[in-house]
Amino acid sequence: MVNLTDVIAPSFYAVHWDIQDGKHTYYDLYGGRGSTKSSFVSVEIVFGIMQGATTGEYSNAAVFRKVGNTLRDSVYEQIEWAIDALGVSDLWESSKSPLQHIYKPTGQKIIYRGLDKAKKTKSIKVAKGYIKYLWFEELDEFAGIEEIRTVQQSVLRGGSKFVVFKTFNPPISVNNWANKYVAEAREDSFRHKSDYTTVPVEWLGKQFITDAEYLKETNERAYKHEYLGIPVGLGTNIFELLEIRTITDEEISRQERIYQGQDWGYYPDPKAFVRCAYMPASQKILCIDELGGQKIRNTAMSQLIINKGYNDYTISCGADEIESILDFRDAGLVANKTNVYPGSRKYSYEWLQCRTLVIDPARTPRLYEEVISYEHEVDENGEIKADYPDGNDHFIDALRYATSPMSMRRGESA
């Protein structure tokens, strides 16, 4: 007999029970080296197939890596480990040509595919039952979520319940599509971040811990990325003081210093409105809400703001469209021109950079996207330019305008 607690790290117990209870379809597991996320997935697939067989559910699994020739030495060997760790090697047949594992009592299979071309997934068939489990290992190696979606649409058929695992070590850049993907709010997804500190030391070995601690002492930035799975950035990110988390209604209700900003646009540039709160004691800016989009006229924009009840505070607006400010005033909004003088753009950016931006991607998704994507440009010699690029920064501008009563105040320091 083998206890699952002997092969699943404690940090994954909640994920295991969530799968058992059938609460989610997608399980996005990411983290640093030694977090045992891949070990956990391999155990869940083998255990799930065998468990289902006892109730007449003939489920199968398909495991994907981007490049086919990496399968044998990675996910295939990982499944081999899981079969052995569960003590059921006598019940499974291993095949390397084709690459697959077969559960002998029922003929259920675990098959492996490289995703060199997503269209290859159309040829995946199983003789008995359906493919319940999908596993995308090293998610960030794939071309993007569209490629993953193509596979899911081709494979997830014929069953009533599916379990899709996506595992990866977060790339260093916060702009990588996989990092952005797990930051998006989805009700059908269970997101789980893990690292080696939650794994029993004896599982990893003394040398692993020694190497991790040495890197922590000598290069903390590399340690955070490699061992803790934190996308620390490439050094070109303009906003580094970020707190990405859920913001509750109760937290917002406690705020006393509310500020609002409006950046003008129509098409292709959007109109952008941001509502935020400033917490001077902690030097944090709580990003509460955003409104806007393309092809929105001033009258419609002002009505959006009024409908949300955001006509309770002054709106600091971009100074380049006086007529638009007058339109807001005609609608009953208290709208003022943001103070502008030589160097004010640079100074307002620097003021924001010195404060922590608390952002909930579910509340302000477009601001979140702009902030994490906003980087200094690099010249032909690889040197970082000190200026602030003008382009995909409309909601950032709205945030700058909102906080301008503070950043432009005499005596304030960036």
Domain that holds residue 307: 242-407
Cα separation values, 363 from 244, 246, 373, Å: 11, 9, 17
What per-residue confidence (pLDDT) applies to 126? 86
Residue 211 belongs to some domain of the structure: no
Residue partners of 217: CB distance under 8 A and separation at least 6 = none
Helix (H) or strand (E) holding 99: strand 99-103
Mean pLDDT across 63-70:
92
Residue 179 CA to residue 161 CA, distance in Å, equals 27
For the sheet with 130-137, list strands across it: 92-96, 99-103, 108-114, 59-65, 130-137, 163-168, 26-31, 189-194
Mean pLDDT, the chain, integer: 91
Over 50: is that where the pLDDT of 413 sits? Answer: no
Does residue 299 sit in the same domain as residue 170? Answer: no
- HSE-CB for 127 with a 13 A CA cutoff: 5
Q: Are residues 23 and 103 in the same domain?
A: yes
Instruction: Check pLDDT > 70 for residue 412.
Output: no
What residues are labeled active site? 138
Phi/psi region, residue 382 (left: phi>0; alpha: psi -120 to 50; beta: rest), is left
Q: For 207, list phi and psi in degrees, rounded to 5.
A: -65, -40
Check residue 410 and give its pLDDT: 44
| Ranges 70-84, 122-136, 307-321: which has the least confidence | 122-136
Is residue 213 in a domain?
A: no
pLDDT greater at residue 98 or residue 347: 98
β-pairing, 99-103 vs 271-279, is unpaired
Residue 200 lies in a domain: yes
For residues 334 and 136, give the distance between their C-alpha atoms in angstroms, rounded to a whole number.
51
Helix, coil or strand: residue 152? helix
Q: How confident is the model over 54-63, as pLDDT tens digits?
A: 998 999 999 9
Residue 261 lies in a domain: yes
Is there a contact between 354 and 414 (Cβ–Cβ < 8 Å)?
A: yes
Per-residue model confidence as pLDDT tens digits over 113-140? 998 765 556 568 888 899 999 999 999 9
Q: What is the pLDDT of residues 335-363, one digit of tens each?
A: 999 987 777 888 888 889 889 999 999 99
Residues 196 and 275 both lie in one domain: no
Q: Are residues 175 and 271 in the same domain?
A: no
Q: Give the strand pairing for 59-65 and 108-114.
A: parallel
Unique residue bearing structure tokens 């929105």: 296
Same domain? For 143 and 291 the reply is: no
- Total structural domains in the chain? 2
Q: For residues 50 and 91, is the Cβ–Cβ distance under 8 A?
A: yes
Q: Do residues 126 and 46 both lie within one domain? A: yes
Q: What is the mean pLDDT of residues 211-235?
A: 89
What φ, ψ does residue 225 adopt, rounded to 5°?
-75, -50
Q: What is the mean pLDDT of residues 172-191?
A: 87
Q: Is the dihedral of CA 183, 185, 191, 194 positive or negative?
A: positive
Q: In this predicted structure, what is the pLDDT of residue 255?
A: 95
Are 269 and 397 found together in one domain? yes
Does any domain span residue 214?
A: no
Based on the fold, state whether residues 254 and 141 are members of the same structural domain: no
Query: From its phi and psi, is residue 92 left (phi > 0), alpha (psi between -120 and 50) or beta?
Result: beta
Residue 104 confidence (pLDDT)? 96
